[in-house]
Chain A
Amino acid sequence: SQQGEEDPQALSIQEGENATMNCSYKTSINNLQWYRQNSGRGLVHLILIRSNEREKHSGRLRVTLDTSKKSSSLLITASRAADTASYFCATDEPRQLTFGSGTQLTVLP
């Protein structure tokens, strides 16, 4: 069954604003990953957060993980038009990466 589920399905913001996407999952995980996909292209790995970590940063990205709520969030600060893409969370249960349906982010110039 599908593990990760992103929310919202679509998000439109102005350049310079922050974008927050959420991911909820159903069962215990060892780690959670976020990926980005530009239209019609392959996915690109952004960040991995382990189950014993609560927050992780990478450049303008900030990921949080709350294992008690089985949820994660991806924050992109000071967004740019080039951040326009779909963003997916992926969890590692049962023995493979399971992706959600993604959040389509549109950053308007």
Chain B
Amino acid sequence: ETGVTQTPRHLVMGMTNKKSLKCEQHLGHNAMYWYKQSAKKPLELMFVYNFKEQTENNSVPSRFSPECPNSSHLFLHLHTLQPEDSALYLCASSQQTGYTDTQYFGPGTRLTVL
């Protein structure tokens, strides 16, 4: 276990549904991240939060809405998704957002959009 948990582990949703992914870290870290991993593509950074403030948004469509209520919790709210949004969504945390910091990943949520 890396100290980062994600729920649910699997999610199937229709294009009109609204759902949320949850991430929790028990490491006392200050930075949290959302990544998208699609088959045969590099890991894509979506959002970065540092001390609860969003510091990066890598041109992610507005149908993905992140929320970071505190340094330990991170949510990704989903609405009106497209089938191409089907992927493994990974959450990670690190002590800071500095480039020397190791990131600790959760097990991911496998999302399927029908």
Are the C-beta atoms of A92 and B40 separated by less than 8 Å? no
Are the C-beta atoms of A92 and B99 separated by less than 8 Å? yes
Considering the complex, give the chain A residue whose CB is closest to the CB of B56.
A96
> Considering the chains assembled together, what is the distance between the CA atoms of A96 and B58 in angstroms?
11
Pick the residue among B6, B41, B105 that contacts A101 (CB under 8 A): B41
Query: Number of A residues contacting the other chain (C-beta, 8 Å)?
Result: 24
Pick the residue among B56, B105, B110 that contacts A44 (CB under 8 A): B105
> Considering the chains assembled together, what is the distance between the CA atoms of A40 and B112 in angstroms?
14
Q: Which residues of A contact B103 (CB under 8 A)?
A: 43, 45, 97
Residue pairs across A and B with CB atoms within 8 Å: the count is 58
Asked if A27 is an interface residue, CB under 8 A from chain B, the answer is no
Contacting chain A: which of B13-21, B42-50, B59-67, B71-79?
B42-50
> Considering the chains assembled together, what is the distance between the CA atoms of A88 and B42 in angstroms?
9
Are the C-beta atoms of A43 and B105 separated by less than 8 Å? yes
> Considering the chains assembled together, what is the distance between the CA atoms of A17 and B24 in angstroms?
39
B 73-114 to A, binary, CB cutoff 8 A, 1 in contact else 0: 000000000000000101010000101101111111010000
Are the C-beta atoms of A40 and B88 separated by less than 8 Å? yes
Are the C-beta atoms of B42 and A30 separated by less than 8 Å? no
Report the interface size class on chain B. 20 to 34
Q: Which residues of A contact B45 (CB under 8 A)?
A: 96-98
Asked if A33 is an interface residue, CB under 8 A from chain B, the answer is yes
B 1-18 to A, binary, CB cutoff 8 A, 1 in contact else 0: 010101000000000000
Considering the complex, give the chain A residue whose CB is closest to the CB of B48.
A96
Binding site for B on A (CB under 8 A): 2, 30-31, 33, 35, 40-45, 48, 50, 88, 92-93, 95-102
Cβ-closest 7 pairs across A and B: A42-B105, A92-B99, A99-B43, A43-B105, A45-B102, A42-B107, A101-B42
Binding site for A on B (CB under 8 A): 2, 4, 6, 40-43, 45, 48, 56, 88, 90, 92, 97, 99-100, 102-108, 110
